[in-house]
Amino acid sequence: MQIAEVQAKIQALSAELKEHNYRYYVLAEPTISDHQFDIKLKELEALEKQYPEFTLADSPTQHVGGSLLEEFKTVPHKRRMLSLGNTYSEEELLEFDERVRKSLGIAEVEYVCELKIDGLAISLFYENGQLSQAITRGDGFQGDDVTENVKTIRSVKQQLHGNYPASFEIRGEIFMHRKGFEKLNAQRAEHGEAQYANPRNVASGSLKIKDPKEVAKRPLDITLYHFLADSNPFASHSESLQNAHQWGIKTAEHSQTCPNIQAVFQYLNHWNEARHHLGYDTDGVVIKVNSFRYQEELGFTAKVPRWAIAYKFQTETASSTLLGITYQVGRTGAITPVAELQPVQLLGTTVKRASLHNANEIERLDVRVGDAVFVEKGGEIIPKIVGVDFSRRNPNSAPHPYITHCPECNTQLQRKEGEAQHYCPNIDECPPQAIGKIEHFVGRKAMDIQSIGAEMAETLYAAGLVKDLPDLYTLTFEQVLALDRVGEKTATNLIQGIEESKKQPFERVLFGLGIRYVGETVAKKLAAGMGNIDNLMAASAEQLIGIDEIGERIAESVVQYFSDPKHIMGIESMKTAGLIFTAIEKESLGDGLAGKTLVISGVFAKHSRDEIKALIEAHGGKVGSGVTGKTDFLVAGDGIGPSKLEKATQLGVQIISEDQFLELL
Ligand code: IVH
C-alpha cells in the first residue's frame, strides 16, 4: 500500500468503527456482529502500530486507554454542580408541583421524567464537537479531571456529528449494568480477588484508577441528562436532549414529557414496577420543569434547583430479629457472613436471610445476635440490614466474635492487609474450594470436559470419587455408574470426556490447575516461556518474571503453588495418566516462516485449523486473526469468508491453499 493509501485506510476504518460504536452503544442497534467489529478494530490497531503518525487523536482504538496518570488535576466547575432535593412521598411531590405552578402563575406545568440512575455524576465539555474535558462532581465547586478515563467508556461520544453548538457542557451519570458487574466479579473470583459490593461502588471506584488501560476493562456506561451552554439555543430540556442525541450523545433512556403532574404519577407507577426488569439499578425518578425559560424563572435555592426534584422509590423497611450469623465459603475461599433472620414480609416476599458482606460491615452496624434489626429491600434484589434498634438491645449482649476458622474445613482464616474479606487458605481440601477447582478444571476454556458440569463435580466430590484433579483420571465406568441417578449413557459419556481431555495442550492443562492469577493468557505465556512443566516447576520467581507479561504477583503465586509437595505429586500422577505437560515446540521445525504473519480461514482437508496454527507457530510464524496490511499469506480453505478474500485481494496479500501452505513449509 502507498503511504497515502495507508492514511486514507486508517481514516476510513476509524470512521467506520466510530459509526459502529455509536450504533452499538448509543442507539443499541448494531449492524455488524461483535466478531466482525473486533476484526476491523484489530486491523486498525495493526495499521496504527505500523504507522503511528496517522493515528487519529480520537481513534476508536483509544478506547483501550491512554498512558498512566500521575494524579487527577482538581479543576473548578464552570457552573456549580448541584444536587437535587428529594422526596419519598407523593404528597411532597404534589406540594412541589403547587410551588412551581404558583411561582410561575400558571395552571399546568409540563414536566420531563427521567429515571434516576445511581452512579457517579460527571460533567462533559465539548469544544467544536470534540470531547475536551470530563470532570467529577467533587464538592460541587471543583472536581477531578478524569478525561482520560472517561474516554475509555465506549458510549461516550468523542467526536460529535451534525449541527452541534461550538461550545457546551452536558452532565450525566456514569454507571455500570448489573450484567457487567456480575461478569467483573466473576473474573475477580477467578483471579482470587475480593468481590465488589455493588455496581455503584465499582463505577465510582473505576474512575479514580490511575491507569486508563485498567479503566477500559471495566464495563462502564454513561447517561447524559443536563445540557448547559452560555447561549442556550433550545427552548426546553427535552428539545436540548433530543438534539444532543442527534449529535451522537447517549442521552437518558426512557425519559418522557408529561403535560402535568398527573402524568408524572402515571410514569412513577409504571416504573416502580418496571424498574425491576432493567439491566441496571435505578433508585427513583427525576422530575424536571421542561421549559428552560421557566427553569430560569424558578432558579435555585442555596443548594438545589427549584425546577427539579428527585422522587425516590419506596424501599420497604421491616423489623426483624437477628437469630444468628452463618458463614458461606465461596469457590475462591472468600468468607461471606449471612444474617439469619426471623422471617419477615418485604415487598411481597418472605425474607429469611440477608448478606452482611464482611467483618467490617458487622462492626460498622455493631449488630449482635438477638438484636432487633431493620431490614430493607429496595432497587436491589438482595435484602440488607440497614440498622439496629439499639433501644431494644439486650443489655447483656456482646459484640459478635467473627469466626477465626473455616466453617467448612476448620482451617484458620486469613485476611490480607487492606482487604475486607477473610479467606480460607485451604485451597485443596476445603470442600467448596475443592469443588470449585474441579469445576474450573473441566471448564470450557480449560480441559473442556463437557460431560462434567457443576452438579456432577459436586456429586463426584461428595461421593469421595474425585477429591482432587488427578482423581478424575483414575475414575472408572463402574464407579460412575454406581452413583445415584447415573445411567450407562451418562457414565460412558463422562469417562469418554475425561479420556479425550488428555489430548488438551499443555497451556490448557496449566490454566486448568487453577493457580491463582494464572488466567488463560498467562498460562499460554508460561507454557511457551518454559516449554514444559518440569522447567516451570523448577523456575525461580526471577526466571518467571523474565517471561513477557509475567509480573511479580504471578511469579510468586506460581512458585508458591509448586512449593507444595501435594501439587507436585498431583502433577506426577496426571503425567502418568497421559496428560500433556509439554508445549508444542515452537522452533523445532525451523524458522522458515520467521517474521511472517499468516491468517487462516475456512476448513481444510488434511489438517484441522488448530494443527495448521500449530504448524505456523512451529515454523516461527505468527497467526493473525484478521487480514491486515501486515498479513503475508492468507491460507484459504473451503468455505472461506468472502470478506477475508476480498480484503486480501484489496491489500495484495498472497492467498494460498492448504497444499501450497504445506509446500511452503
Ligand atoms: S439532574 C441541577 N437528572 O442524582 C440538576 N440528576 O440525587 C442536577 N441523577 O446530582 C441533576 N439521574 O447525580 C438529574 N436524570 C437525572 C439524574 C440525576 C441521576 C443524580 C445526579 C444528581 C443526583 C441527585
Secondary structure in 3-state letters for 129-160: CEEEEEEECCCCCEEEECHHHHCCCCCCCCEC
The answer, yes or no, to whether residue 25 has pLDDT greater than 80, is no
The answer, yes or no, to whether residue 38 has pLDDT greater than 80, is no
Instruction: Convert the pLDDT of each residue in 152-168 to its tens digit.
Output: 998 999 999 999 999 99
Q: What average pLDDT does the structure give for the chain?
A: 89
Question: Which whole number is the average pLDDT over 85-109?
Answer: 93
Supply the residue whose CA is at minimum distance from atom 13 of ligand 1. 121
The answer, yes or no, to whether residue 380 has pLDDT greater than 60, is no
Quote the pLDDT of residue 23.
75
Determine contact, residues 17/9, Cβ cutoff 8 Å: no
Determine contact, residues 347/382, Cβ cutoff 8 Å: no
Residue 237 Cβ < 6 Å to ligand 1: no
Nearest to 354 by CA among 368, 371, 339, 364: 339
Predicted TM-score of the model (pTM): 0.55
Residue 252 Cβ < 6 Å to ligand 1: yes
Better-scored residue on pLDDT, 189 or 108: 108
Supply the residue whose CA is at minimum distance from atom 22 of ligand 1. 83
Question: Which whole number is the average pLDDT over 286-312?
Answer: 94
Tell me the three cell numbers of residue 112.
Answer: 420531563
Residue found by looking up cell 458440569 in the block:
453
Quote the pLDDT of residue 483.
94
Query: Other C-beta atoms within 10 Å of 280: how many?
Result: 23
Nearest to 465 by CA among 450, 480, 477: 480
Question: Which whole number is the average pLDDT over 46-65?
Answer: 80
Largest Cα–Cα separation, the chain: 88
Tell me the three cell numbers of residue 443.
Answer: 471448564
Own/partner pairs, 193-201, CB within 8 angstroms, 24+ separation: 194/334, 194/419, 194/420, 194/421, 195/330, 195/334, 195/421, 197/357, 198/281, 198/380, 199/175, 199/280, 199/281, 200/118, 200/119, 200/120, 200/175, 200/176, 200/281
Residue 117 Cβ < 6 Å to ligand 1: yes
Tell me the three cell numbers of residue 111.
Answer: 414536566
608 alpha carbon – ligand 1 mean position (Å) = 56
112 alpha carbon – ligand 1 mean position (Å) = 13
Residue 121 Cβ < 6 Å to ligand 1: yes
Question: Which whole number is the average pLDDT over 536-557?
Answer: 92
Supply the residue whose CA is at minimum distance from atom 21 of ligand 1. 121
Nearest to 355 by CA among 376, 336, 377, 329: 336
Which among 78, 84, 176, 237 is the best mutation to test ligand 1's pocket, defined by most ligand atoms within 8 Å of the CB? 84
Quote the pLDDT of residue 331.
82
Residue 82 Cβ < 6 Å to ligand 1: yes
Own/partner pairs, 389-394, CB within 8 angstroms, 24+ separation: 389/319, 393/368, 394/370
Quote the pLDDT of residue 504.
96
Question: Which whole number is the average pLDDT over 294-314?
Answer: 91
Supply the residue whose CA is at minimum distance from atom 12 of ligand 1. 116
240 alpha carbon – ligand 1 mean position (Å) = 16
H/E element, 76: strand 74-76
238 alpha carbon – ligand 1 mean position (Å) = 15
Question: Which whole number is the average pLDDT over 439-449?
Answer: 94
Supply the residue whose CA is at minimum distance from atom 4 of ligand 1. 116
Using CA atoms, how far residue 616 sits from 314, 506, 522, 596, 633, in Å, is 62, 18, 21, 9, 11
The answer, yes or no, to whether residue 66 has pLDDT greater than 60, is no
> Is residue 67 very low, low, confident or very high in pLDDT (cuts 50, 70, 90)?
low
Determine contact, residues 204/173, Cβ cutoff 8 Å: no
Quote the pLDDT of residue 663.
87
Residue 286 Cβ < 6 Å to ligand 1: yes
> Is residue 346 very low, low, confident or very high in pLDDT (cuts 50, 70, 90)?
confident
**Apex CA 194: angle with CA 188 and CA 195, to 5°?**
75
Question: Which whole number is the average pLDDT over 483-505?
Answer: 95
Residue 83 Cβ < 6 Å to ligand 1: yes
Quote the pLDDT of residue 64.
55
Residues in Cβ contact with 230 at an 8 Å cutoff, skipping those fewer than 6 apart: 167
The answer, yes or no, to whether residue 28 has pLDDT greater than 70, is no
> Is residue 220 very low, low, confident or very high in pLDDT (cuts 50, 70, 90)?
very high
379 alpha carbon – ligand 1 mean position (Å) = 17
Q: Strands (DSSP E) along 464-604, which ranges?
A: 597-601
Nearest to 26 by CA among 221, 263, 195: 221
Of 56-70, 331-345, 403-417, 564-578, least confident by mean pLDDT is 56-70
Domains (range + CATH), the chain: 3-64 (1.10.287.610), 86-312 (3.30.470.30), 321-373+397-424 (2.40.50.140), 431-501 (1.10.150.20), 506-577 (1.10.150.20), 597-664 (3.40.50.10190)
Residues in Cβ contact with 138 at an 8 Å cutoff, skipping those fewer than 6 apart: 74, 77, 81, 144
> Is residue 26 very low, low, confident or very high in pLDDT (cuts 50, 70, 90)?
low
Q: Distance (Å, rounded) from C-alpha 171 to C-alpha 121?
A: 7
Residues in Cβ contact with 618 at an 8 Å cutoff, skipping those fewer than 6 apart: 584, 585, 586, 587, 588, 589
% residues pLDDT > 70 (the chain): 96
Instruction: Convert the pLDDT of each residue in 230-264 to its tens digit.
Output: 989 999 999 999 999 999 999 999 999 999 999 99
H/E element, 663: helix 658-664
Supply the residue whose CA is at minimum distance from atom 9 of ligand 1. 116
Top mean pLDDT of 167-181, 365-379, 587-601 is at 167-181
Q: Are strands 597-601 and 622-624 parallel, antiparallel or unpaired?
A: parallel
Report how many helices (DSSP H) and strands (DSSP E) the chain contains, helices first: 24, 20
Quote the pLDDT of residue 585.
63
Determine contact, residues 562/591, Cβ cutoff 8 Å: no
Residue 118 Cβ < 6 Å to ligand 1: no
636 alpha carbon – ligand 1 mean position (Å) = 55
One-letter amino acid identity for 553?
R
305 alpha carbon – ligand 1 mean position (Å) = 11
Residues in Cβ contact with 464 at an 8 Å cutoff, skipping those fewer than 6 apart: none
Residue 116 Cβ < 6 Å to ligand 1: yes
Question: Which whole number is the average pLDDT over 121-139?
Answer: 95
Residue 241 Cβ < 6 Å to ligand 1: no
Nearest to 201 by CA among 309, 417, 357: 357
Ligand 1: nearest atom to the Cα of 82: 2
Tell me the three cell numbers of residue 269.
Answer: 407507577
206 alpha carbon – ligand 1 mean position (Å) = 20
Quote the pLDDT of residue 208.
83
DSSP conformation class of 162: S
Determine contact, residues 32/24, Cβ cutoff 8 Å: no
- Active centre residues (catalytic): 116
